[in-house]
Structure 1
Amino acid sequence: MAIVAAIDDSDRATPVLSEAQTLATDLEEDLHVVHVLERSELVEVLEKDVEGQDLTDNYEVQQVGENIVSRAIEEPTLADPTISVRVGDPAAEIVAYAETHDARYIVIGGRQRSPTGKALFGSVTQKAIFDSPVPVVTVALG
């Protein structure tokens, strides 16, 4: 089984990764870190033609994930996490990754939002909670 940390490219990634590292260590599970690029972001990352290549196997795409994780790690981990960059809808990709990799938990950040904000705007965290077949640990990010 695995602990899946879903992070974005912000300062909010550090507390999510820290909580996931703690869970993985305490439960003696592998740590997997997932970052999801939306297709519009992918255009900014790629500078060469990748026709016929799975986008998530592309070197530049993988470098994005590795750079984000390296910035988010406060202290070196005992073991290197498995890092994956996916492309598509963030909530759907996080849940699909967790299902594929036999996750025990998904760890994701969440922000407090007003009831109106919840009704008008979709939330990656909210969608992941509703769609995930495994427990989702949310890290309050303010």
Structure 2
Amino acid sequence: MAIVAAIDDSEGAATVLEEAQTLAADLEEELHAVHVLKRSELVDVLEKDVKGQDPIENYEAQQIGESIVSRALGESTLPDPTVSVRVGDPATEITAYAEKQDARYVVIGGRQRSPTGKALFGSVTQKVIFDSPAPIVSVGLE
């Protein structure tokens, strides 16, 4: 089993990762940090066609994830996570990764939104909460 931390490239990533590290240490579980790139973001980053290449295995894509997690870790003294970069829809990829890792918990950041905002715009956190194969720890980011 593992603790899976869903990390984006925001200031809140450090809070999510810190909570996940603490949970993993307390439960003596492995920690995995997963960052999801949309395919269009990957193509922009690579500035080349990725047709025929497994983008999850791509060195440049992995470096993006490693960099984001490194910034989020800061000067943490807790163990570093295993970093995985996925490509696709963030909510789908996070839940698929959690299922593959047999996650004990998924730690994800959440922001408060108005009812109108919830109705008009999809929320990755909301989709993960509904679809996750494991219990969710939602870390408030505001």
User: Please, which runs of 5 or more residues in structure 1 have no aligned partner?
Assistant: none
Q: Matched residues in 2 for 1:29 and 1:113: separation? A: 32
Indicate the RMSD between aligned Cα atoms, in angstroms. 1.2
User: Please, which runs of 5 or more residues in structure 2 have no aligned partner?
Assistant: none
Counterpart amino acid of 1:70? S
| Deviates most, 56-65 or 45-54 | 45-54
| Alignment correspondent of 2:125 | 125
Superposed CA deviations along residues 60-100 of structure 1, whole A, max 9, x for unmatched, are: 00000000000001333443311000000000000000000
| Alignment correspondent of 2:88 | 88
Pairs within 5 Å for 1:16-27: 16-27=16-27
| Alignment correspondent of 2:113 | 113
Task: Give me the identity figure in percent.
Answer: 77
Helix, strand or coil: the match of 2:41?
helix
Query: TM-score of the superposition, structure 2-length normalised?
Result: 0.95
| Deviates most, 39-48 or 29-38 | 39-48
Query: TM-score of the superposition, structure 1-length normalised?
Result: 0.95
Superposed CA deviations along residues 3-58 of structure 1, whole A, max 9, x for unmatched, are: 00001001010000000000000000000000000112111211345443311111
